[in-house]
Every structure is written in structure tokens, then in C-alpha cells.
């Protein structure tokens, strides 16, 4: 290997190291959020089982899509 190839490899390793350092916190956050979601879902199912109620797959709280659509409808009515 000559000097130019070594410098190129050092630069590439440096860039990849910086990329890993920048991406690592977000990847750790995603993994942590998934773990917390799983724990919450398991606790909710356990609580529903203890109360003798059937666990429903449908939520009683409107979804984000419903909330967004209602907001868009109200804006259209106001601007008309």
C-alpha cells in the first residue's frame, strides 16, 4: 500500500466512525422505545386478564390519523 491508499483508508474509517457516533444514540432510542412499548402492552394485557375483561384490539382513543383528518376538515370549513 502506498501513502495515498493509507490516507484514503484512514479518512474512510474516520468518516464511518463519525457516522456510527451520530447514528448510535437514535438507534439506542428506537430499541428502548420498542422495549417500553412491549412492556406496556404486556402489562395492559395482564391487567385486562386479571379484571376478567376481554382484551380488545381496537382502541377507544382516536388514532392520530383520525385526529389529523378532523383537524384538516375543520380548517377547510373555516377557510371556506
Q: Which long-range contacts (CB under 8 A, 24 or more apart) does 44-50 make?
A: none
Contact between 63 and 57 (Cβ < 8 Å)? no
d(CA 33, CA 71) in angstroms, rounded, equals: 27
**pLDDT > 90: what percent of the chain?**
54
d(CA 57, CA 38) in angstroms, rounded, equals: 15
Q: pLDDT (tens digit, 9 = 90+) per residue, 44-77?
A: 998 888 877 555 565 566 666 666 666 666 655 5
Give this prediction's pTM. 0.48
d(CA 47, CA 39) in angstroms, rounded, equals: 12
User: For the chain, what is the mean pLDDT?
Assistant: 82
Q: H or E stretch including 22?
A: helix 3-51
Amino acid at each position: 500500500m502506498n501513502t495515498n491508499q493509507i490516507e484514503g483508508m484512514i479518512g474512510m474509517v474516520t468518516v464511518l466512525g463519525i457516522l456510527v457516533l451520530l447514528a448510535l444514540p437514535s438507534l439506542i432510542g428506537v430499541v428502548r422505545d420498542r422495549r417500553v412499548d412491549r412492556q406496556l402492552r404486556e402489562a395492559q394485557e395482564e391487567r385486562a386478564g386479571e379484571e376478567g375483561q376481554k382484551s380488545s384490539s381496537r382502541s377507544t382513543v382516536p388514532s392520530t390519523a383520525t385526529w389529523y383528518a378532523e383537524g384538516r376538515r375543520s380548517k377547510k370549513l373555516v377557510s371556506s
